[in-house]
Every structure is written in C-alpha cells, then in structure tokens.
Amino acid sequence: MSVITLNEFIIERQSDFPYAKGELTRLLSHISIAAKIVNREVNKAGLVDILGESGVSNIQGEVQKKLDVYANDQFLMALKSSAECCGVASEENEDIVAFEGEIARNGKYVVAMDPLDGSSNIDTNVSIGTIFAIYRRISPVGHLATRADFLQEGAKQVAAGYIIYGSSTMMVYTTGRGVNGFTLDPSIGEFCLSHKNIESPTSGTIYSINEGNYIKFPTGVKNYLKYCQEKDEPTNRPYTSRYIGSLVADFHRNLLKGGIFIYPITEQNPTGKLRLLYECNPMAFIIEQAGGKASDGYETRILDIHPDSLHQRVPLFIGSWNMVENAERFVAENGNT
Ligand code: P6P
C-alpha cells in the first residue's frame, strides 16, 4: 500500500481550502515539524531533565511542567517561522503573543493552542496532546495581531487539530472537509495517512467523566450517569466508564470508537474546566466534521459561543451524536439544579 505523507495529503487537498494555495500547507507543515520535535522530547521525557515542574505557574495558576513550557516554545517558533501566522493565544501565555517583524505581521492567520494538554500526566507516562485552532485574522494585514482576532466563534475556525503523544504519535485535523488522521512513522520521520475520513459512530457505549466530582454535578448529569449504569440489554447498557484525565486521549478514543466525554460545571469549576478557545472549539470542530456533536450540555452548540476572554472555560458535552443529545435531554429535564 503506498504511503501518503501529511505534506502530500495537504498539497493534494489544497483545493479544499478556500484561501490562497500554500498558506494552509505551510501552517500545517510547520505545526507538524514542531509536533515531531515535541514528540522526540515527550518520548524521552523520563531520561532527561525535562520532567517535573519548571517552578513557574501559568495563567491558570497551574504549575507549568518543564515539557509544556518547552512545547509552547517549539510551537511558537514554528508558527512564527511559517510566515502565515501573525499571532498565537496559548494556554501557557496570559495574553496573546503578537509576532513582531514585517513577515509575521503580514500573516493572515492566528492560532489558539494548548501546546501540551494533560501535562499533569507527563510524569506518569499517560498519553498527552497538543490542540490547535486556526482562524483567519480580522485585524488588518501588516499590523500586529489583536485580541479580537482570537475572540471569534468556533464556527469561524478554518482548521483545527490535535497531536496525541501516545502508544503512537498521531496528528488528526480538519479544514471543514472531513477529518483525517496521520500516524508518525519514526523510521522515516513522517506523519503518514492512517485514518482517512474519520466518521465517529453516532452511538457508543463509553462514557467519560471524572466521577470524583459526582456529588457536585448538576442533577441532570447525575441522572444521566445513572442511566449509563443501568442494565438494559436492548440499549447495550450498562455502558463502560473510561476516563484517562487527558482530554486528547479521552476524545481520540471516543472519536474512533464512539462515546461521550463530559466535563460539566462542578463546585471547583462553576463554568466548567475546559477552555473554549483552545480545547473545546477545536475538538468541537473535529467532532462535528466526523458526524458527532459538541455542546455546553444546555443545548448551546460549542461552536456558536462568542468568546469573552482568551482563557474562558465552558462546560463540555462532546462525542457521539445520539449520546450527547440524550445527555442534553437529562440535563434539560432538571435545569441547572
Ligand atoms: P480533571 C488536563 O489537565 C485537562 O485540562 C484535560 O486534558 C482533562 O480532560 C481534564 O483537565 C481533566 O480534569 O479535573 O478530571 O483532572
């Protein structure tokens, strides 16, 4: 079987991208280069002094792991050198990073990203990931990127994707024409097409939620969990509970096998934990392109939410269409109580 590399695929599919040819190619190929560099460090993280904490905290007040600072630097450098990106909003940076220099100022795209999501799992060898969302800038070309460039609804994304650093390293992305997955072949250093036109099962039997927060879940979420756990053979219940605690890993499994991931409001996170710009929106774009659904649980489509701030958090119900719709019904029956 002939191997199709990521770059070959992007070039073949350039016509899918409604803007000038080559722009997306350069953006995605620079992202993939940074992903290979980060992958190399993730894979040997236990061997070099890159584990552990950097001693610095990020905007979220979360202690930054050395590897996520390293990953952030790699993706920022790659995006700036792409000459297509004029700025980045990152989980690791409090404000946007507007690239200086004439070439970067002429970039037509901005990228919101979580350079290394799930980084609390780094030291225990659990799969982690990079998540990115690409928008056309709305500020004038030739000037510095502005915050408004990033506070666009998720429906305005022109591309979104993630890299999962797991038993293998994969890059999964969409430009609005379906979802495709590429597995890194270390022997040739290329991402190769391995999951063409991913379609997520409309129903599934896996639910993914941190049940440690159960006591504080809204009643509707508690009732939905009881529904998942009841025995009912015709609907293949009880479902299976799977929770890795790394969004990219939990999402990727559900994308391929079917399932629902829920991070609802909790006492500790009264507006949800996951960030709209660089976690929920890109995953929502991908799941919708694969035939699934993503809402805040209260029937608000994630991609329709207008962001108010860079690190805004929202509740997330995402996965197989029928499962998300069903969970929304349980929540609707009980309002926000
Ligand atoms: P909890 C990782 O820290 C993360 O941002 C996501 O990758 C993951 O889905 C979630 O938080 C896990 O949160 O509260 O269940 O540990």
Mutate-to-test residue for ligand 1 from 247, 261, 318, highest number of ligand atoms within 8 A of CB: 247
Task: Write down the pLDDT at residue 68.
Answer: 85
The DSSP code for 101 is: S
Atom 1 in ligand 1: which residue has the minimum CA distance?
A: 245
Whole-number Å distance, alpha carbon 9 to ligand 1 midpoint, is 32
Query: Whole-angstrom Cα distance, residue 222 to residue 225?
Result: 5
Task: Write down the pLDDT at residue 54.
Answer: 63
Flag the least confident range among 4-18, 50-64, 223-237.
50-64
- Summarised one tens digit per residue, pLDDT across range 284-293 is 999 999 999 9
Atom of ligand 1 minimally distant from the CA of 128 = 7
Q: Are 198 and 255 in contact (CB under 8 A)?
A: yes
Query: Is any ligand 1 atom within 6 A of the Cβ of residue 246?
Result: yes
Q: Are 145 and 271 in contact (CB under 8 A)?
A: no
Mutate-to-test residue for ligand 1 from 274, 277, 278, highest number of ligand atoms within 8 A of CB: 274
Q: What is the mean pLDDT of the chain?
A: 92
The CATH 3.40.190.80 portion of the chain extends over: 206-334
Query: Is any ligand 1 atom within 6 A of the Cβ of residue 210?
Result: yes
The CATH 3.30.540.10 portion of the chain extends over: 6-195
Whole-number Å distance, alpha carbon 58 to ligand 1 midpoint, is 15
Task: Write down the pLDDT at residue 50.
Answer: 55
Average pLDDT (95-113) is: 96
Distances (CA, A) of 166 to 28, 118, 130, 131, 221: 20, 12, 12, 14, 30
1 pLDDT above the threshold of 70: no
Q: How confident is the model at residue 219 (pLDDT cuts 50, 70, 90)?
A: very high
Average pLDDT (101-123) is: 92
Whole-number Å distance, alpha carbon 277 to ligand 1 midpoint, is 15
pTM of the model: 0.94
The DSSP code for 126 is: -
Query: Is any ligand 1 atom within 6 A of the Cβ of residue 311?
Result: no
- Summarised one tens digit per residue, pLDDT across range 312-321 is 999 999 999 9
Task: Write down the pLDDT at residue 46.
Answer: 59
Query: Is any ligand 1 atom within 6 A of the Cβ of residue 7?
Result: no
Please give the share of the chain, as a percent, with pLDDT higher than 90.
79
Atom 9 in ligand 1: which residue has the minimum CA distance?
A: 247
Distances (CA, A) of 40 to 35, 93, 170: 9, 23, 13
Task: List 241's β-bridge partners, or say none.
Answer: 207
274 pLDDT above the threshold of 70: yes
Which one has a higher pLDDT value, 267 or 180?
Answer: 180
Task: Write down the pLDDT at residue 192.
Answer: 97
255 pLDDT above the threshold of 70: yes
Task: Region of 142 please: left (phi>0), alpha (psi -120 to 50) or beta.
Answer: left
Query: Is any ligand 1 atom within 6 A of the Cβ of residue 264?
Result: no
* Burial zone of 27 (CB within 10 Å; 0-12 exposed, 13-18 middle, 19+ buried): buried
Atom of ligand 1 minimally distant from the CA of 250 = 9
Whole-number Å distance, alpha carbon 118 to ligand 1 midpoint, is 6
Whole-number Å distance, alpha carbon 99 to ligand 1 midpoint, is 30
Atom of ligand 1 minimally distant from the CA of 212 = 15
Atom of ligand 1 minimally distant from the CA of 114 = 5
- Summarised one tens digit per residue, pLDDT across range 146-169 is 999 999 999 999 999 999 999 999
Task: Write down the pLDDT at residue 222.
Answer: 96
Task: Write down the pLDDT at residue 223.
Answer: 97
Closest CA to 113 of 319, 282, 266: 282
Query: Is any ligand 1 atom within 6 A of the Cβ of residue 273?
Result: yes
Q: How confident is the model at residue 295 (pLDDT cuts 50, 70, 90)?
A: very high
Which one has a higher pLDDT value, 298 or 238?
Answer: 238
Atom of ligand 1 minimally distant from the CA of 117 = 7
CATH assignment of 6-195, among 3.30.540.10, 3.40.50.300, 3.30.450.20, 3.90.180.10: 3.30.540.10
Average pLDDT (13-32) is: 82
Flag the least confident range among 10-24, 247-261, 274-288.
10-24
Whole-number Å distance, alpha carbon 296 to ligand 1 midpoint, is 16
- Summarised one tens digit per residue, pLDDT across range 24-76 is 889 999 999 999 999 998 887 655 555 556 666 666 666 666 888 899 999 99
Atom 16 in ligand 1: which residue has the minimum CA distance?
A: 245
Q: Which CATH architecture has domain 206-334?
A: 3-Layer(aba) Sandwich (3.40)
